[in-house]
Amino acid sequence: MKEPEPTLEAGPAQQKQQSNKSESLVVIDQLVKQFGKLRAVDNLSMTISAGETFGLIGPNGSGKTTLIRMLVGLVKPTGGSIQIMLERMPSAKIAPRIGYMTQLSALYNDLTARENMRFFCNIYGLRGKEQKQRIDEMLERVDLADRIDSVVSTFSGGMKQRLSLACALVHGPRLALLDEPTVGVDPELRRSFWDYFAQLNKEGVTIIVSTHHLDEAARCTRLGLMRFGVMLAQDSPEELLHQSGQANMEDAFLYFARSYHVPERS
Amino acid sequence: MSFSRVMALAARIIQQVLRDKRTLALIFLVPLLIMTLLYLVLTNTSSARTLAIVYPTGTGSERIKTLIDSLLPGQDKLHTISISSDQVDNTLKNGNADAAVIFPADFAQQILNNQNPTVQIKLQGSDPTVASAMSDLTQSFTHQLGIAIAALKSQGGNVPSTPTTTLPFTVGTPQYLYGGPQYTFNDSIAPVFIGIFSFFFVFILTSVAFLRERSQGTIERVMVSPLTRVELVIGYICGFALFALVQSLVILLFVIFALRVHYSGNLALVFLVSALLTIGSVNLGIFLSTFAQNEFQIVQFIPLVFGVQIFLSGIFWPVAQLPGVLRPLSYIMPLTYANDALRGVMLKGADFTGIIGQLGALVLFALVMVLLSAATMRRQIA
């Protein structure tokens, strides 16, 4: 018999947030995605508030990427609903306010960093002086200012990742969905990324990020632990540690994974 | 529909192509190279053939010889050599002649005695086109000779010593409805190549570019952005249409001024045809790239999309002369109509109304392609 899903318990951090920002930016209700026999996302429900960084933690194949792709509208859900900024998805209206970063670096390899960013700025309607300013600022943030006119095919994997993040955020989205943004990025730069995410949160930007790094998990406002398309637990990092009685996020994850019997699916 | 987004995409495509020097060479230099080669090869079609004649040698043969020589076309059209009957096979083998006409030695005497001599024609044969042409030529010549001799015989029962070469009527200088005597096969080939190059390069460039959007993952970024699918297609069309039109201009200028190809009509229509072809081939490229996982698989489409059209769209063989079973295929190919329109404009001086049917067919092709690419656009992502 299936255990009831862990409910969204409002931990102390959350309660504080909810009193400040009552709007739920993203509302997901009983979301299902079926690929043939495979249930990639299984009856997922959650809400994400404005201005928070929501981390998706889980092994490969847990459905994190599928969830993100459904949120941006690349994949059509089999069941359930998604609401972003009060718009029922799919909706073209909110496209300008969303930033998306895939696992593939998704850059034009034959163009320079500047040309890539210019293109994305142009299709998001960012022009002129403001465009130039934002491009310079973002490339500074991801530490690629010295390679602005280099062709992307000459970049290392980590550099492509950084440029990809810059392209995702250059147009100043209200909601950023980042699929493993720190792969191949050195620890110092990783830390500065997360400092930037915290700053974005202060500015009211909401971030949904998936990651394997459990030290990054600690910096999220709230976490969602996923496995086999199911949300095992979602709460602030402190609350999750408290609930599981574990000392670190890794053990907490294993605790939740074990205590939630997910039948093996093909 | 945002004009600025479409232009941003077109600008990016242009940037990408401009950065790739090899592709630029392919688009602009290769067509000129091919046109030049074609021109040089095709201009040599007027190489004169050689006919070996074994003249009769018996009594009365002088007059026959004079008659024969007066009936032959000029040396610039047909080179003739005189050989003896035992040299025939060697002459043909050595390539010194393409065919031989052999008169028996006592030909004149046999004619006089109404003995109906046999004139033998022998063809070298290893090149069927040459053999066929020489067979026509020798048979026509000997037929003329027969008529001349029969006419002379009926006049006086004898072959006169100086047969008259002045005709009782005048043949007017040949008039041409289209073109003129200075037009060569080159002039009929050059227009269609403008269409071919437009179609081919745009198709290849678009399908590879679109494939790369998918394999690089950028198509997803674009799909998530405010850029709509319609804007995506139009952006691609605008980007590549620029290159197609510039290419057409470069080729046109080259063939007209460098190769001195003759033309009659309104050259602006040439660009119209090129533009319509581009719209169709961009969308065909988008459509087919859905079915390719990598560039090599796109290359595999070339014989199907392009090779077949080379044979069936009337480039070398007129559509009306193709076997009946193949003709319906010709009529569904865009190049058939493009070639017709381009030749109509450049050789026949057709105006807009003159090629309106072909333009309509190209518009229809473009529409069908747009529908196909729109239908598969969803498949571009997971």
The upper half-sphere exposure of residue A184, i.e. CA atoms within 13 Å in the direction of its Cβ, equals: 17
Which residue is associated with the tokens 């072809």? Answer: B277
- pLDDT tens-place string over residues B28-68: 999 999 989 888 887 765 567 899 999 999 888 888 888 88
CB–CB of B382 and A108 under 8 A? no
CA atoms B187, B191, B193, B194: torsion sign: positive
CB contact under 8 A, B224 and A108: no
Which pLDDT score is estimated for A256? 86
- Are the CB atoms for B344 and B259 separated by under 8 Å? no
Q: What is the pLDDT of residues A138-196, one digit of tens each?
A: 999 898 999 999 999 999 988 999 999 999 999 999 999 999 998 888 888 889 899 99
Segment holding A131, helix H or strand E: helix A128-141
Q: Where are the domains of chain B?
A: 3-42+181-380, 48-156
Mutate to test the interface with B, among A78, A119, A180 (most CBs of B within 10 A): A119
| Residue to test with chain B: of A72, A103, A123, A175, most B Cβ within 10 A | A123
Q: Are A101 and A181 in contact (CB under 8 A)?
A: yes
Closest CA to A98 of B6, B227, B213, B233: B227
- A110 touching chain B per CB within 8 A: yes
Shortest CA distance from B231: residue in chain A: A123
CB contact under 8 A, A124 and B15: no
pLDDT score at A15:
44
Residues of chain A with Cβ-Cβ distance to B22 below 8 Å are none
Q: Mean pLDDT over all residues of chain A?
A: 85
Tell me which chain A residues have a C-beta less than 8 angstroms from the C-beta of B210.
none
Q: Touching check for A92 and chain B: CB below 8 Å?
A: yes
Please give the residue of chain A at the shortest CA–CA distance from B232: A123
Inform me whether the pLDDT recorded for B268 exceeds 70.
yes
Chain B contact residues (CB < 8 Å to A): 2, 4-5, 8-9, 11-12, 15-16, 19-20, 216-218, 220-228, 381-382
CB within 8 Å: B224 and A106? no
- Cα separation of A133 and A114, whole Å? 12
ipTM: 0.82
Tell me what pLDDT residue B158 has: 55
Compute the half-sphere exposure of residue A46: CA atoms within 13 Å on the CB side of its CA: 26
Encode pLDDT of B313-365 as tens digits. 888 888 888 899 988 999 999 999 999 999 888 888 888 888 999 999 999 99
Distances (CA, A) of B226 to A39, A93, B6, B251: 30, 8, 11, 38
Higher pLDDT, B45 or A231: A231
Taking the Cβ of residue A86 and every Cβ of chain B, the question of whether any pair is shorter than 8 Å is answered with: no
pLDDT value, residue B42: 76
pLDDT class for B148, splitting at 50, 70, 90? confident
Q: What pLDDT is stored for residue A2 in this prediction?
A: 43
Closest CA to B258 of B36, B34, B29, B26: B36
pLDDT cut 90: percent of chain A above it: 44
Task: For residue A107, give how far its alpha carbon lies from the nearest alpha carbon of chain B (Å).
Answer: 6
Within 10 angstroms of residue B338's Cβ, the number of other Cβ atoms is 31
The fold of the B48-156 domain, in CATH, is abc type-2 transporter like fold (3.40.1710)
Number of Cβ atoms within 10 Å of the Cβ of B365 = 23
User: How buried is A123 (Cβ within 10 angstroms: 0-12 exposed, 13-18 middle, 19+ buried)?
Assistant: buried
Residues of chain B contacting residue A75, judged by C-beta atoms under 8 Å apart: 382
Residue B8 tokens read as 């941003």
- Chain A contact set for B11 (CB, 8 A): 119, 122
User: Residue B129: its pLDDT value, please?
Assistant: 84
Tell me how far CA of residue A72 lies from CA of A17, A69, A172, A185, in angstroms: 25, 5, 16, 24
Helix (H, G, I), strand (E, B) or coil at A46: strand
Please give the sequence-ordered ranges of beta strands (E in DSSP) within chain B, or none if there are none: 49-54, 78-82, 99-102, 120-123
Report how many Cβ contacts below 8 Å link chain A to chain B: 75
Question: What is this structure's pTM?
Answer: 0.78
Using CB atoms within 10 Å of the CB of residue B166, give its burial: 0 to 12 exposed, 13 to 18 middle, 19+ buried: exposed
Contacts of B1 (CB under 8 A, 6+ apart): B228, B230, B231, B234
Cβ within 8 Å, pair A106-B20: no
* Separation of alpha carbons B200 and B277, rounded Å: 10
- Residue B23: list chain A partners with CB under 8 A: none
**Alpha-carbon gap, residue B71 to A258, rounded angstroms:** 107
A242 versus B184: the higher-pLDDT residue is A242
The model's confidence at residue B379, banded by pLDDT at 50, 70 and 90, is low
pLDDT attached to residue A135: 95
